[in-house]
Amino acid sequence: MKQSKLTFIGGGNMAASLIGGLLADNLPAKQITVADPESGTRDSLANHFGVNTAEDNVAAITGADVVVLAVKPQMLQSVAEVLASAVQEYQPLIITIAAGIRSADLDRWLGGETGDSVAVVRAMPNTPALLQTGATGLFANAQVNEEQRDLAESILRAVGLALWVENEDQMDAVTALSGSGPAYFFRIMEAMETAGAGLGLSAETAHLLTLQTALGAAKMALESSEAVGVLRERVTSPGGTTEQGLQVMAEQDIDGLMARVLRAAFDRSRELARSLDEKK
């Protein structure tokens, strides 16, 4: 990756996070170009990160090994169609982070039907990527070679964990689990804060104890080689307080609840992808 030239199309939040992570991983800023229509956005990225910027998307991808499409999903088709002939000519690896856009559609917009099929990696990061603690699902189409797979993985690893899925339909499951996941944890934290305050703690104390407990539990689970179920059993003494709390969770069917939560998000992800398909 140290020698690769990267171009970002779209210089918004996600592009800035990825660039921050890549520079922290020692990728030289001069190997990164960002294209964005807003001069204010370009100036701020150039000043903050020292990267090259461009107003014109086609000029920006000339000579790039990797092009990261970091525009909103509804912009992607028009952006891709303008890039098609340059992509056919230079054949860079294309990484898209737009939710719900299938690799086959992107390949077609980039000229893959009439010309050469395009190497496309679809990535689904989540919002903690903005703090370099994201979780990303990755899918590569058949045109992506080993070297490009490694390259895509090292780019997304700059903002956290990056894991491959083998078939593209699994991206809807990634969306349901880690894409929407931060909000589920926020919701659980909200409920714990309210319940703690209901037991007499100040709102501030309940808030801070909840957050630190969530962080500590996640850190313990990440650093342990044991399954989370084993960690849970270890902190559950027979006849103790935790056992009583967990008993209520079991009675309320916590497993069934989370299965329904993820299924609803999964179904919506498919629906949204289908509605994007119909608009084409």
Ligand X SMILES: NC(=O)c1ccc[n+]([C@@H]2O[C@H](COP(=O)([O-])OP(=O)(O)OC[C@H]3O[C@@H](n4cnc5c(N)ncnc54)[C@H](OP(=O)(O)O)[C@@H]3O)[C@@H](O)[C@H]2O)c1
Q: Does the footprint of ligand X cover residue 97 (CB under 6 A)? A: yes
Place of tokens 């590569």: 140
* Nearer of residues 57 and 210 to ligand X, judged by Cβ: 57
* Nearer of residues 98 and 206 to ligand X, judged by Cβ: 98
Residue 141: CB partners within 8 Å, gap ≥ 6? Answer: 103, 104, 107, 117, 119, 120, 121, 168
For residue 84, give the 3-state DSSP assignment.
helix
* Nearer of residues 99 and 152 to ligand X, judged by Cβ: 99
Place of tokens 């850190």: 219
Which residues partner with 122 through β-bridges? 96, 139
Q: Which of 6, 9, 32, 162 binds ligand X (CB under 6 A)?
A: 9
Q: Does the footprint of ligand X cover residue 158 (CB under 6 A)? A: no
Q: Does the footprint of ligand X cover residue 236 (CB under 6 A)? A: no
Residue 99: CB partners within 8 Å, gap ≥ 6? Answer: 73, 124, 175, 179, 269, 272
In whole angstroms, what separates CA 271 from the centre of its chain?
Answer: 19
Q: Does the footprint of ligand X cover residue 68 (CB under 6 A)? A: no
How is 114-178 classified by DSSP, letter by letter? Answer: TSPPP-EEEEE--GGGGGT-EEEEEEE-TT--HHHHHHHHHHHHTTEEEEE-SSTTHHHHHIIII
Q: Does the footprint of ligand X cover residue 181 (CB under 6 A)? A: no
Residue 214: CB partners within 8 Å, gap ≥ 6? Answer: 185, 189
Do residues 63 and 45 touch, judged by C-beta distance below 8 A? no
Q: Does the footprint of ligand X cover residue 137 (CB under 6 A)? A: no
Q: Does the footprint of ligand X cover residue 79 (CB under 6 A)? A: yes
Residue 266 has which token pair? 């999964």
Q: How far is the CB of 134 from ligand X (least distance, A)?
A: 8
Q: Which of 6, 7, 10, 111 binds ligand X (CB under 6 A)?
A: 10
Q: Which of 31, 33, 57, 77 binds ligand X (CB under 6 A)?
A: 57
Supply angle C-alpha 15, 6, 1, rounded to 5: 110
Query: Which residues 26-45 are close enough to bind ligand X by CB under 6 A?
Result: 35-38, 41
* Nearer of residues 27 and 69 to ligand X, judged by Cβ: 69
Q: Segment near ligand X (CB under 6 A), from 65-73, 105-113, 149-157, 260-268? A: 65-73
Q: Which of 1, 6, 14, 159 binds ligand X (CB under 6 A)?
A: 14
Give me the phi and psi of 140, to 5 degrees please.
Answer: -115, 135
Q: How far is the CB of 224 from ligand X (least distance, A)?
A: 28
Q: Does the footprint of ligand X cover residue 20 (CB under 6 A)? A: no
Q: Which of 88, 91, 127, 154 binds ligand X (CB under 6 A)?
A: 127
Q: Does the footprint of ligand X cover residue 53 (CB under 6 A)? A: no
* Nearer of residues 1 and 79 to ligand X, judged by Cβ: 79
Q: Segment near ligand X (CB under 6 A), from 13-21, 113-121, 141-149, 238-246? A: 13-21
**Contact positions vs ligand X (CB under 6 A):** 9-15, 35-38, 41, 57, 70-73, 75, 79, 97-99, 125-127, 129
